Amino acid sequence: MTRKICVITGSRAEYGSLSCLMRKIQEDQELDLHVVVTGSHLSPEFGLTYKEIEKDGFIINKKVEMILSADTSTAITKSTGLGIISFADVFSDLLPDLVVIVGDRYEVFAASFASLIAGIPIAHVSGGEISMGAFDEAIRHSITKMSYLHFTITEEFRQRVIQLGEEPNRVFNTGSLGVDAILNTEFLTKEELEERLEFKFLEKNIIITFHPVTLEKGTAEKQFDEVLKAISSLEKTRIIFTFSNSDTDGRIILDKINSFVQRYSTTSVAFASMGSLNYFSTLQYVDIVLGNSSSGLSEAPSFKIATVNIGDRQKGRLKLESVIDCAPEKNSILSAIRKAYSEEFRDTLKNVKSPFGDGQAAEKITKIIKTVDLPKELKKSFHDL
């Protein structure tokens, strides 16, 4: 009898890496893949990225509309509640044997809560990490406690999940699905990429993704203004923006990006969603990943490029030598950019090695979810250290 695996994806960011696992599950004759999309995948504002999933050859079994057309804390809370209600119906219809969830977003929190109440075991990917500036941290650890199986990307993170009381025999260090995605992507050439994205790379190139720091009240506008002040003074530099997540105050950032691109149309460009192929291909040809996205910490090192990490959103995360931390202030940002372009720092990038796995995470996870005994009742012992 095949085991029905329900994979939840709520944003372009996590789908880029999750697709490798989805493909492995899809190809396994002992597993039956069911895909549920939600969150910004279904939003025109964020590029209707569910179409990329379908283009990749996956059948979407359910779509969960949950994002309200606002970016206030009230709207985010209501969106989460709407998601819980909707996922209750999804799981009642699909009756999966296991729900697979990646990360720490409120969209997947809604799915996790509904799955727990429905008595369906959860496999949580990328638990045990820290991001002290965002409420994603609390959500991530909450999902850990609701989950039965855990797949972490380093041994340090595995130990942190165990520290949260999870039994060691249910916690596996498999490495990062993001590394799988990078190693399994046939990148576009610069000419192909420029034609597809309709711009030319310049002498210097920086890609920017900046999210609101959700545990700080009302700082998004001021902080992003400092980013824009810094980059507006750069010369002969292509600026490539990718939109922020559907977080509190996220639309403030989107509006400012659009205004900046209109003003500096010859040197800047913005994308609601680049798609994994375009994004990873772009990382080959940029000098710096700038902002406060986790991609700068987890994916950029594989390309041996500099990351300028701004502010506290990613505070506490594992950072390699390629990461330069700075304050969300114009002068601090410019100082970090100058360091990233210095010959001494660029020499250090040659020796950067990603600690996030060997590119076999999807295969390891698939083998475990296929063979592990799943409980009939979600009763877990608390593992004391």
Same domain, yes or no: 25 and 171: yes
* Strand ranges for 154-199 from DSSP E: 171-173
Q: Are 301 and 119 in contact, with CB atoms under 8 Å apart?
A: no
**Rounded to 10 degrees, what is the CA torsion of 151, 46, 234, 221?**
-90
The domain in which residue 178 lies consists of 3-183+359-371
Same domain, yes or no: 335 and 214: yes
Please give the single-letter amino acid code of residue 221. E
Same domain, yes or no: 199 and 117: no
Same domain, yes or no: 194 and 136: no
175: in domain: yes
Same domain, yes or no: 217 and 104: no
Same domain, yes or no: 160 and 283: no
Q: Are 318 and 301 in contact, with CB atoms under 8 Å apart?
A: no
User: Domain count of the chain?
Assistant: 2
260: in domain: yes
Same domain, yes or no: 367 and 310: no
The Cα 169–Cα 310 span in angstroms is 37
Looking at every residue in the chain, the average pLDDT score rounds to: 93
Whole-model pTM over 0.85: yes
Structure tokens that stand for 374 in this block: 């799943």
Percent residues over pLDDT 70 in the chain: 100
The Cα 237–Cα 266 span in angstroms is 10
Same domain, yes or no: 317 and 294: yes
CATH code, 345: 3.40.50.2000
Strand order in the sheet with 122-125: 60-64, 31-38, 3-9, 98-102, 122-125, 149-152, 171-173
Same domain, yes or no: 170 and 256: no
Same domain, yes or no: 118 and 22: yes
377: in domain: no
177: in domain: yes
pLDDT per position as a tens digit, 231-280: 999 999 999 999 887 777 888 999 999 999 999 999 999 998 888 899 99
Same domain, yes or no: 303 and 367: no
What average pLDDT score do residues 330-351 get?
96
Q: What is the predicted pLDDT for the residue at 354? A: 85
173: in domain: yes
DSSP designation for 234: -
194: in domain: yes
Render 194-230 in DSSP notation, one character per residue.
HHHHT----SEEEEEE----TTSSS-HHHHHHHHHHH
Q: Are 41 and 10 in contact, with CB atoms under 8 Å apart?
A: yes
Confidence check: pLDDT of 326 > 80: yes
Same domain, yes or no: 178 and 207: no
12: in domain: yes
